[in-house]
């Protein structure tokens, strides 16, 4: 169990660190500048050092910290972790999250609704999907897992599309932790949803951007079509667009399936947040055994 949990957290962080190099580029620009990115080299529009991660991993860590502090009622603690992170002035924060975190005055759900309205009813970014994995790692009770998954999305993203994407994703993660097969879990969880055609298409007909539906379509596409963890994160990174987030979300599930011991050391050893992720894996595993 611990190896799988560690695989999930590290898998997501590796995807983020690898994909950050190519974020906002298209696949032709990537090919021209890098050929094919296969290692974590940093750079990108955020000018990262190799092994540095972005908001995706930072917010995933915030969710994990909130859960380990207060597993029975984690939303207030998760919120405190978000605010703590935001006070450090992180770069590259998504629009919806940035607005919610700067306007928060005591009620997450109310703030998310105001921001949703101010954005003309648009709050379907991938910002709650990219951070939700720790919920599936921590809770072995499915009802509790689904409730927290839903609420952590609604804290910043009022749109149902965002919460639905988080639920589909975490239900797949939940099954993997019970030893189920990735492809079977994926196929069953997307049945009768807007994602069901992913398994039948050669390539998605939407851009790999930050709209949560597009993001999840690409994540599912890579998970369905690639065999190894390495292949998933490399392909997602080299496709560009919102590549750090897409590689991170896909890498989280593929890493969870593979387990930490199967992730390439050249990816995991270079991560700046390595020790934090090690510690959080153990803490989440301990929560899972209690709840």
Residues annotated within the binding site are 54-56, 242, 244-245
Q: Choose between 63 and 182: whose C-beta lies nearer to Mg ion.
A: 63
54 binds Mg ion (CB under 5 A): yes
Phi, psi of 5 (to 5 degrees): -60, -45
The pair of structure tokens assigned to 34 is: 């890098």
Q: Where does this chain touch Mg ion (CB under 5 A) — which range of 99-107, 183-191, 239-247, 269-277? A: 239-247
Q: What is the DSSP letter of 194?
A: T
Helix residue ranges, H only, 88-227: 95-103, 108-118, 133-138, 142-154, 160-177, 182-190, 212-225
Q: Which of 52, 230, 244, 257 binds Mg ion (CB under 5 A)?
A: 244
Q: Choose between 133 and 190: whose C-beta lies nearer to Mg ion.
A: 133
The pair of structure tokens assigned to 190 is: 């997307």
185 binds Mg ion (CB under 5 A): no
The pair of structure tokens assigned to 274 is: 């390595």
Q: Choose between 56 and 146: whose C-beta lies nearer to Mg ion.
A: 56
Lay out the site mask for Mg ion across 2-31 (x = CB under 5 A, - = otherwise).
Answer: ------------------------------
Rg of the chain in Å (alpha carbons): 17
Q: Which residue, 112, 100, 67, is CA-closest to 283?
A: 67
Q: Where does this chain touch Mg ion (CB under 5 A) — which range of 53-61, 115-123, 131-139, 160-168? A: 53-61
Footprint of Mg ion on 148-177 (CB under 5 A): none
Residue 91 Cβ vs Mg ion, minimum distance, rounded to whole Å: 9
Mention every residue, 6+ apart, whose C-beta is less than 8 A from residue 277: 6, 9, 10, 13, 61, 271
Identify whether the C-beta of residue 119 lies closer than 8 Å to the C-beta of residue 96.
yes
Identify whether the C-beta of residue 281 lies closer than 8 Å to the C-beta of residue 3.
no
DSSP β-bridge partners for residue 48: 43
Cα 248 to chain centroid, rounded:
5
Residue 85 Cβ vs Mg ion, minimum distance, rounded to whole Å: 13
| Cα gap 252→61, rounded to integer Å | 13
Residue 74 Cβ vs Mg ion, minimum distance, rounded to whole Å: 23
Lay out the site mask for Mg ion across 192-231 (x = CB under 5 A, - = otherwise).
Answer: ----------------------------------------
| Cα gap 77→92, rounded to integer Å | 23
Q: Which residue, 182, 128, 178, is CA-closest to 158?
A: 128
Q: Choose between 55 and 235: whose C-beta lies nearer to Mg ion.
A: 55
56 binds Mg ion (CB under 5 A): yes
Using a 10 angstrom Cβ sphere, with 0-12 exposed, 13-18 middle and 19 or more buried, the burial of residue 202 is exposed
Residues annotated within the binding site for Mg(2+) are 54-56, 242, 244-245
Q: Choose between 23 and 161: whose C-beta lies nearer to Mg ion.
A: 23
Q: Choose between 55 and 81: whose C-beta lies nearer to Mg ion.
A: 55
Q: Which of 5, 9, 44, 55 binds Mg ion (CB under 5 A)?
A: 55
Which residue has the CB atom at the shortest distance from Mg ion?
Answer: 54
Residue 245 Cβ vs Mg ion, minimum distance, rounded to whole Å: 5
Residue 55 Cβ vs Mg ion, minimum distance, rounded to whole Å: 5
Residue 209 Cβ vs Mg ion, minimum distance, rounded to whole Å: 13
Q: Which residues bind Mg ion (CB under 5 A)?
A: 54-56, 244
């Amino acid at each position: 169990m611990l190896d799988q949990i560690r695989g999930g957290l590290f898998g997501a962080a590796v995807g983020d660190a690898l994909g950050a190099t190519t974020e906002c580029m298209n696949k032709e620009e990537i090919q021209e500048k890098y050929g094919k990115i296969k290692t974590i080299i940093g750079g990108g529009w955020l000018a990262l050092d190799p092994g540095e991660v972005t908001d995706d991993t930072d917010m995933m860590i915030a969710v994990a910290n909130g859960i380990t502090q207060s597993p029975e009622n984690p939303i207030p603690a998760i919120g405190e972790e978000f605010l703590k992170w935001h006070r450090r002035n992180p770069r590259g924060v998504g629009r919806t999250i940035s607005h919610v975190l700067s306007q928060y005055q005591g009620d997450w759900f109310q703030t998310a609704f105001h921001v949703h309205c101010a954005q003309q009813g648009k709050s379907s970014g991938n910002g709650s999907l990219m951070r939700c994995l720790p919920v599936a790692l921590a809770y072995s009770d499915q009802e509790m897992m689904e409730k927290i998954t839903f609420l952590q999305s609604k804290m910043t993203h009022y749109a149902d599309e965002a919460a639905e994407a988080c639920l589909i994703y975490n239900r797949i993660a939940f099954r993997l932790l019970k030893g189920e097969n990735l492809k079977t879990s994926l196929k069953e969880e997307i049945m009768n949803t807007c994602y069901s055609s992913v398994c039948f298409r050669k390539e998605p007909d939407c851009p790999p951007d930050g709209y949560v539906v597009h993001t999840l379509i690409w994540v599912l596409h890579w998970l369905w079509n690639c065999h190894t963890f390495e292949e998933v994160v490399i392909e997602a990174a080299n496709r560009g667009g919102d590549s750090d987030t897409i590689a991170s979300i896909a890498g989280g599930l593929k890493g969870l399936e593979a387990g930490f011991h199967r992730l390439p050391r050249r990816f995991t050893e270079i991560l700046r947040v390595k020790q934090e992720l090690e510690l959080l894996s153990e803490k989440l595993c301990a929560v899972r055994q209690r709840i």
